[in-house]
Amino acid sequence: MHIILLGAPGVGKGTVAKMIAEKFDIPHLSTGDILRDNVNKKTYVGNQAKEYMDNGKLVPDDIMIQMVKGRVLEEDCKTGFILDGFPRTIRQAEALKLIFDELNIVVDAILNLKASQEIIIERLSGRRTCKNCGAIYHIKNIPPKVEDKCDKCADRLYQRDDDKKDIVKERLMVYKTQTKKLISYYEKQDSFYEINANKKADEMFAEVCKDLGKAGKSG
Ligand code: AP5
C-alpha cells in the first residue's frame, strides 16, 4: 500500500502515520525525521539542511528529491510505505510522480489532514518527542505515563527547536504560501481524501481507516 499524507505543521501527520504504519505493516517515511537524524549525525545532507530547518524554511527541492528517491528504493519499501512531509512543493510532487511511474507504483490514498489554526498551535506548543524512538506525545492531549519519559523505550522526551513560537509562525506561513498549493494539485484524483483532524487521534485514525477501506485497503 502507498499513501501520501498532506497537512499543515502540527496537524497530526506523524501521529496518524505511525498508527497507519503499525496497522498495515509498512514503513513510515517522515522526511522531517530523516532530516533530523541527518542533522544529529552531521552528515552532508544534515549540514546543508540545518539552517533551513532552524529557520522554519523548506530545504531545497533537489536535496529532498534525491533523499526520498534513495529511501523509497530501499528493501523495506518494496510492499509499500506512507510518505509524511513529502511532497511539499509542486516541484517535489512532479518529481514524485516520475519516481512512482518509473517504479510502477500506484498511489492508493492521498490523505489531506485539516484542523483549525488554534488547534494546530496548541498541538505544536505541547508536543514532546522521544529522542530515541521518535514516539510523539502531547503534554495534555496524549501525555506519557511518566512525565518526560517515553512509554515505549523509557528514553527522555524533548521539545523540538522548531516548535518555538517564531519558528512555528514561519512554518505555518511557508505552508500557506508553498505547500497548500498541493491540495489543488491532488484533489481531483479519485484517491484524494480529506480528513477532519480536529478530532482526537483515535477518531482521526478511524476516519482514515474508513477512507482506506473505500480505497480498497481495509488491512
Ligand atoms: P516535519 O518534521 O515534517 O514537520 P511538519 O510538517 O512541520 O510537521 P510536524 O512534524 O511539525 O507535525 P505533524 O503534522 O507530524 O504533527 P504531530 O503528529 O507531531 O518537517 C520539519 C522541517 O523539515 C520543515 O520545516 C522543513 O525545514 C524540513 N522538511 C521536511 N520535509 C521537507 C520537504 N519535503 N521539503 C522541504 N523541507 C522539508 O502532532 C503534533 C502534536 O499534536 C503532538 O504533540 C501530538 O501528540 C498532538 N496530536 C496529534 N494529533 C492529535 C489529535 N488528533 N488530538 C490531539 N492531539 C494530537
Tens digit of each residue's pLDDT (9 = 90 or more) over 87-132:
999 999 999 999 999 999 999 999 999 999 999 999 999 999 998 9
More confident of the two residues 216 and 136: 136
How many domains is the chain built from?
1
Is residue 218's pLDDT more than 70?
Answer: no
Centroid of ligand 1 to alpha carbon of 100 (angstroms):
24
Centroid of ligand 1 to alpha carbon of 87 (angstroms):
13
C-alpha grid cell, residue 170: 514561519
Is residue 217's pLDDT more than 90?
Answer: no
- Closest among 67, 16, 29, 14 to 45, alpha carbons compared: 67
Q: Is there a domain that residue 97 lies in?
A: yes
Residue among 116, 142, 158 to mutate when testing ligand 1 (max atoms within 8 A of CB): 142
The secondary element (H helix, E strand) that includes residue 112 is: strand 109-114
What is the sign, positive or negative, of the torsion defined by CA atoms of 123, 16, 209, 184? positive
Residue 129 Cβ contacting ligand 1 at under 6 Å: no
Cα-based torsion angle of the residue sequence 15, 48, 58, 18 in order, rounded to the nearest 10 degrees: -10
Residues forming the active site? 13, 88, 127, 160, 171
Ligand 1 atom nearest the C-alpha of 129 is 44
Q: Is there a domain that residue 47 lies in?
A: yes
Rounded CA-CA distance 27/105 in Å is 15
Q: Is there a domain that residue 140 lies in?
A: no
* Averaged pLDDT for residues 21-44: 96
pLDDT of residue 29: 98
Q: Is there a domain that residue 171 lies in?
A: no
Ligand 1 atom nearest the C-alpha of 126 is 44
Q: What does pLDDT average to over the chain?
A: 95
Q: Is there a domain that residue 138 lies in?
A: no
Q: Is there a domain that residue 19 lies in?
A: yes
C-alpha grid cell, residue 143: 501525555
Residues contacting 143, CB < 8 A, separation 6+: 137
Residue 28 Cβ contacting ligand 1 at under 6 Å: no
C-alpha grid cell, residue 64: 529532498
Centroid of ligand 1 to alpha carbon of 124 (angstroms):
8
Is residue 215's pLDDT more than 90?
Answer: no
Give SS3 for 92: helix
DSSP 128-152: EEETTT--EEETTTB--SSTTB-TT
Q: Is there a domain that residue 139 lies in?
A: no
Count of C-beta atoms within a 10 Å radius of residue 101: 10
Residue showing cell 481507516? 209
Q: Is there a domain that residue 99 lies in?
A: yes
* pLDDT tens readout for residues 129-185: 998 999 999 999 999 999 999 999 999 999 999 998 889 999 999 999 999 999 999
Centroid of ligand 1 to alpha carbon of 13 (angstroms):
6
The CATH number covering residue 200 comes to 3.40.50.300
- What residue numbers bound the domain in which 83 lies? 2-115+177-218
